[in-house]
């Protein structure tokens, strides 16, 4: 990683104030995204992957959310410190996001065309004068975008309301919306979780195609390792608000280093080869209102040791692989 990354999350910690105390959702997270890279963030529900992604665009409501420490650098600019007005110029135009459930992320009382045109028009004031569009031109551009995401009959669908569209079609509309500002980075927060399996494949194909065509850098948040293998070239594994492993897809699948990653991969069922009983990781998630000191996986880890009371830094153990675990010494071997 010689050139400086496009997006760099550095020592980022975020907590939520709740009635029961301070919920330490994200602890000292470090993630880099290089230009043109496709990065997957995997982890189970509640591991902080969505909150991390939303933090990039400052979409975590505050209160209750509060950044305790760290920086999120985009082209050298710290987004944690950026004003709301500055963030508006970044959202959609530099960094765009698509979400988990297309059923609920479109406004039910406006036509999809109306919402798309609204987004395009909202971007106007941040674009140079020569690129400005009238509402009519925005309409044409919106239909062009809908065509680009392969929505059938875009002219007709333009006038339809979200409830008249299927889930896959709505996700296409949301993708068109996200890409209408020609962003450099697309954050996809579990974009296929709420869809049927066949539709999932179509949407993944579409994202893959757009990544290539538009030269997007992508952060793909998912708990589906298959999706990661399909679309990403690098993976960050998160557990309970901490980054435990950061590796190329090949290195991670060939040689998972962190005990949690090993457990995660072992839990993937292999049709035909499995004994019929799904394996899992014993124990349960730590309580983040009062998290253990150091590594949050230690209570469930078969290889836990005294040193785990302090979190290990991410350590390079191979060409494309870093891991945050004391099992790996200075020489990079267990």
Identify the residue among 1, 109, 197, 278 touching other proteins (CB under 8 A).
Answer: 109
Identify the residue among 43, 181, 191, 259 touching other proteins (CB under 8 A).
Answer: 181
Is residue 66 within the footprint of other proteins (CB under 8 A)? no
Indicate the residue among 119 and 221 with the shorter CB distance to other proteins: 119
Q: How far is the CB of 111 from other proteins (least distance, A)?
A: 8
Is residue 3 within the footprint of other proteins (CB under 8 A)? no
**Are the beta carbons of 12 and 52 closer than 8 angstroms?**
yes
What the block records as the tokens of 31 is: 């993630």
Percentages (nearest 5) of helix, strand, coil residues in the chain: 35, 25, 45
**Nearest alpha carbon to residue 60 among 114, 92, 116, 13:** 13
Is residue 93 within the footprint of other proteins (CB under 8 A)? yes
Q: How far is the CB of 93 from other proteins (least distance, A)?
A: 7
Is residue 44 within the footprint of other proteins (CB under 8 A)? no
Quote the distance between the C-alpha of residue 280 and its chain's center.
24
Is residue 92 within the footprint of other proteins (CB under 8 A)? yes
Name the segment binding other proteins (CB under 8 A); options: 39-47, 176-184, 195-203, 322-330.
176-184
Q: How far is the CB of 221 from other proteins (least distance, A)?
A: 14
DSSP reduced 3-state for 283: coil
Render 123-177 in DSSP notation, one character per residue.
Answer: HHTTS-GGG---HHHHHHHHHHHHHHTT-SSHHHHTTS-GGGS-HHHHHHHHHHH
DSSP 191: T
What does the alpha-carbon distance between residue 319 and residue 322 come to, in Å, rounded to a whole number? 9
Is residue 119 within the footprint of other proteins (CB under 8 A)? yes
Is residue 259 within the footprint of other proteins (CB under 8 A)? no
Q: Under rule CB under 8 A, which residues in 186-225 are in contact with other proteins?
A: none
Is residue 23 within the footprint of other proteins (CB under 8 A)? no
DSSP 5: P
Is residue 306 within the footprint of other proteins (CB under 8 A)? no
Is residue 296 within the footprint of other proteins (CB under 8 A)? no
What does the alpha-carbon distance between residue 249 and residue 265 come to, in Å, rounded to a whole number? 12
Binding site for other proteins (CB under 8 A): 54, 57, 59, 84, 88-93, 96-97, 99, 101, 104-111, 118-119, 122-123, 126, 161, 163, 174, 177-178, 181
């Amino acid at each position: 990683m010689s050139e400086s990354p496009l997006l760099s999350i550095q020592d980022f910690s975020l907590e939520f104030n709740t009635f029961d105390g301070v919920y330490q959702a994200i602890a000292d997270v470090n993630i880099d995204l290089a230009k043109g890279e496709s990065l997957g963030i995997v982890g189970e529900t509640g591991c902080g992957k969505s909150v991390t992604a939303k933090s990039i665009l400052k979409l975590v409501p505050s209160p209750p959310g509060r950044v305790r420490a760290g920086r999120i650098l985009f082209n050298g600019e710290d987004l944690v410190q950026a004003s709301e007005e500055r963030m508006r110029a970044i959202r959609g135009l530099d960094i765009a996001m698509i979400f988990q459930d297309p059923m609920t992320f479109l406004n039910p009382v406006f036509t999809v065309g109306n919402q798309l045109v609204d987004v395009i028009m909202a971007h106007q004031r941040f674009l140079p004068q020569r690129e400005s569009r009238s509402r009519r031109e925005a309409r044409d551009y919106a239909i062009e975008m809908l065509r680009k995401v392969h929505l059938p009959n875009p002219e007709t669908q333009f006038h339809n309301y979200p409830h008249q569209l299927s889930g896959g079609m709505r996700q296409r509309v949301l993708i068109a919306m996200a890409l209408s500002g020609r962003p450099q980075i697309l954050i996809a927060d579990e974009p296929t979780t709420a869809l049927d399996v066949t539709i999932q494949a179509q949407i993944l194909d579409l994202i893959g195609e757009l990544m290539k065509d538009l030269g997007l850098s992508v952060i793909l948040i998912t708990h589906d390792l298959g999706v990661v293998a399909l679309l990403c070239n690098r993976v960050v594994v998160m557990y309970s608000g901490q980054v435990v492993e950061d590796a190329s897809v090949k290195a991670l699948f060939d040689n998972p280093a962190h005990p949690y990653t090993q457990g995660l991969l072992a839990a993937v069922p292999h049709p035909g080869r499995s004994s019929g009983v799904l394996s899992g990781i014993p124990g349960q998630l730590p309580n983040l209102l009062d998290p253990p000191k150091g590594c949050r996986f230690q209570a469930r880890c078969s290889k836990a040791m005294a040193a785990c009371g302090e979190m290990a830094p991410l350590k390079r153990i191979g060409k494309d692989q870093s891991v945050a675990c004391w099992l790996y010494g200075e020489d990079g071997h267990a």
